[in-house]
Amino acid sequence: MLQNQVWQPLPGSRQAEIYPYLRKPDLLSSNSCIIRTPRQILLIDAGALAAQTADLNRILADCQRERSRPVVVYLTHCHLDHSLEVGRHRQIMTTAPVWIAIQEQGADYLSEGDSAKTIAELYGVAFPSLQPDIRLLTETDKRRKAPRSISLMPGVDMTITTEAIETDLKQSFFQQTVSIGGGDVLEIYSAPGHSPDSICIRAGEVLFIGDLLAAANPMVAGISGWHREHLMDTQHHVQWLLDHKPVKICYPGHGGLIPSEKAREILRRLERKTLSLGDVSRMNEERLFQITDYALELLDEAEEVFSSIAGRLLYVAYQLERLEEEEAACRCRNAMPMEKIDACLLEFRKLCRGLDSGKIRRVEFAHGALAIVEQVKTLFDPRPLAAILPQTLIHRGTGLLLDFIGIANGRRNLEEFIPTDVNEVIDDVLRAVQDSPHLTESVLDYVEDDAQFLAALVLRIGHEPAANRPVVDFLPKRPLPYVSVAAGRFSNTLLTFLDWLAQAHSPSIRIATGMDRSGLFVTVAPAGPDGEAPTAHRKKKIDSFARRFRLCGLVLETAQEGFRLTLAEKQDAPDAFLAN
């Protein structure tokens, strides 16, 4: 494996040497790499940080003092984290010409300063217009397949030849061979999907793959120019390259070097992941703001929910210790890794402070928040909790995590949306609200069986007595037309909503369904003090529930009688359902 920031022979080349510049992976800037031959110096991906440019230019200046040679900067694609600093190399390097090479569409995006295609919009910055010098894999090259020559400086020419690679795959793809001096060449392959202009570059036994391995990740899938089918073709093409070309090392745009065998395994997993993506929402500035706003909201909710779960578990454990059931008490304490989840939420809070202070960008915050939520999801196992705590409380935890992950992924599972009898869902929810081990079998029924007696006792301690719950009256209009909503999600969200209203000390709640000219509606009217001014915290909670009901296909609005749910998308119903 290659050593970082050290000159060494380029494996599989005649005279070329390589200087890897591998960074700790982040969203701010890509890896870079310098390759030198007796006739040229190549820089692959310029990155986006001034400090990185200064480092690279010190190495380039040393190379020029040794021998003056043209510098050609190859961009694997136009995204800001790979290309923002490319113009600086032109400004700094005055002892030799600097040429910028990029695929044809990427050249257009750079010259136009396209903030969407360069994803500068996600970083909240303007992208400076830049005119590249060498257009790679142009439509003219593909059509004519004729060699072309470029004079890089007096006495140093570059020859580019183009050919279509025939494979056993459905789609053929194109390769350009570029002379770099000393008998060595680069092979450049079209690799769209992550972006229209993405390319892979083979130098000796090293294959530069840009952001191919991250292209199906949440908040990467769906960026401007992303294309699922093209990405899948590219994954197959790169697999073919690994099988048929002398590649030993894959050099990604972010992260460490990958042996070709491991890259094959990653690509196989990536193909399955990409195939499962389906329709992905566009990842633009508007969606980035939605994700970050939800993440900020999520933190308060998560702290509240997991504190409630932890508090209830400790309460049950305390009561069991009083009954000298030490082993059962220990199981309760260990049912959820409280300290690890607390540490994750503490890291989340730190991330929020970084966003508030301007130390990190929204795009960094969104990716960081998703990583923390996925870690909490790994830690939070609802199965051992089901024998101790109410399902409504457990659903609040799992629902929070899964909803945010779904929004970050940009996918709505259309299979959730099924023809649904809303009255039937509400009936089921109310049965769950009133269900309690305090109302069903007594623990005394299991007095003959120690294990069952203890299990019933734990469940009873872990549930709030039904007498402390508000009375819920349901006034359904029957029959109602079937409507398309995410029934399971609606059930869980309504349970959580009623639980929240109960915590607000509403002595009773009235739910009613009906139809009017605008369609089906559900009203939820909690009894309580009239004219109470809504607090900022209450408004925040209502906004959070509105977002969650929206995922069910419903719109939550405040109304004079309390709250009103309507269908997010109009669904026609027969006039007979509008009659009283």
Arithmetic mean of pLDDT, 92-108: 92
Q: What is the CATH code of the structural domain delimited by 8-277?
A: 3.60.15.10
Residue-level pLDDT at 437: 60
CB atoms within 10 A of CB 512: 17
Q: Closest Cα to residue 303, out of 348, 264, 245?
A: 348
Give the residue extent of every domain in the chain: 8-277, 284-411, 415-435+466-580
Per-residue buried b or exposed e for 295-313, using 16+ beta carbons within 10 Å of the residue's own CB: bbbbbebbbebbeebbebb
Is residue 421 pLDDT above 80, yes or no?
yes
Q: Closest Cα to residue 507, out of 532, 523, 526?
A: 526
Which range, 225-234, 403-412, 495-504, has the best average confidence (pLDDT)? 225-234
pLDDT digits (tens, 9 = 90+) for 109-141: 999 999 999 999 999 999 999 999 999 999 999
Q: How far apart are CA 560 and CA 565, in angstroms?
A: 13
Is residue 414 pLDDT above 60, yes or no?
no
Q: Which CATH number fits domain 415-435+466-580: 3.30.565.10, 3.40.50.360, 3.30.360.10, 3.80.30.20?
A: 3.30.565.10
Q: How far apart are CA 284 and CA 263, in angstroms?
A: 29
56 vs 577, residue with greater confidence: 56
Q: Which residues are CB-contacts of 526 (< 8 A; sequence separation ≥ 6)?
A: 470, 501, 504, 506, 508, 509, 562
DSSP 8-class letter at 310: H
Q: Evaluate whether 30 touches 253 at the Cβ level (below 8 Å).
A: yes
pLDDT digits (tens, 9 = 90+) for 299-350: 888 998 999 999 999 999 999 999 999 999 999 999 999 999 999 999 999 9
pLDDT-derived band of residue 440, with 50, 70 and 90 as boundaries?
low
pLDDT-derived band of residue 580, with 50, 70 and 90 as boundaries?
very low
Is residue 438 pLDDT above 80, yes or no?
no
181 bridge partner residues: 184
Residue-level pLDDT at 3: 97
Residue-level pLDDT at 570: 66
Is residue 546 pLDDT above 70, yes or no?
yes
Query: What pairing do the DSSP bridges indicate for beta strands 41-44 and 32-36?
Result: antiparallel
CA 146, 152, 158, 160 dihedral sign is: negative
Stated as kind and residue range, the H or E segment containing 542 is helix 536-552
Q: Closest Cα to residue 108, out of 85, 81, 137?
A: 137
pLDDT digits (tens, 9 = 90+) for 385-394: 999 998 878 8
pLDDT, averaged across the chain: 90
Is residue 456 pLDDT above 70, yes or no?
yes
Q: How far apart are CA 344 and CA 268, in angstroms?
A: 31
Q: Closest Cα to residue 325, out of 450, 238, 449?
A: 450
Identify the burial level of 180 via C-beta atoms within 10 angstroms of its C-beta, where 0-12 means exposed, 13-18 middle and 19 or more buried: buried
Phi and psi, residue 42, nearest 5°:
-115, 135
pLDDT digits (tens, 9 = 90+) for 80-96: 999 999 999 888 877 88
Q: Output the six-digit token pair for 549.
A: 């009901």
pLDDT-derived band of residue 577, with 50, 70 and 90 as boundaries?
very low
Total-model pTM? 0.84
Q: Evaluate whether 384 touches 286 at the Cβ level (below 8 Å).
A: no
